[in-house]
Amino acid sequence: MTFLERTTDPRRLRHWEGTLEADYIYTSGLAGERFFTALRDDGRILASRCDACDLAYLPPRLFCERCFAELAAYDDVPATGRVEAVTVAHADRSGRPLPEPEAWALVSFRGIHGGLLHRLLVPAGKARAGLAVRPRIRPRAMRTGTIADIEGFEPA
């Protein structure tokens, strides 16, 4: 054992294994609440708007990040968005390999600051930036007020 040797595999030695409880509940916040209830109840995607700055935010923000005004106005985003960037995932959230690679996209809407990161419902080989897409919203009975109420984005 020298200065540079390190124990990189604790299981090689006498060790203890365990799990850390780190459960959390994250609430959406005021603007997030508007966004998710509109998505759940009406299948709409809302952006908040600042008239003074002529800016709209997606996901909606409670405050304008330019002028710090509290935002009360909400608009539907346009029916069609645009893929800004794509990622092809070969592993799921836990790092396990996926049977088929999945395409993920950052989708933006004309005139709106921000966008949504979501599944791109095309074969991974066909995923590319610039694609015109529209959201595929799950049926009302399946919606629970989370981002998964959107199944993904499909070619418009």
Cis peptide leading into 59, omega within 30 of 0? yes
37 vs 80 by CB, closer to another protein? 37
- The DSSP result for 34-53, as a single string, is HHHHHHHHH---EEEEETTT
Residue 95 CB, nearest distance to another protein (Å)?
Answer: 9
Q: Which residues bind another protein (CB under 8 A)?
A: 1-3, 7, 10-20, 22-28, 30, 32-33, 36-37, 40, 94, 145-146
2 vs 97 by CB, closer to another protein? 2
33 vs 75 by CB, closer to another protein? 33
For residue 153, which of 126, 115, 118 has the smallest C-alpha distance?
118
Are the C-beta atoms of 50 and 67 separated by less than 8 Å? yes
Residue 149 CB, nearest distance to another protein (Å)?
Answer: 10
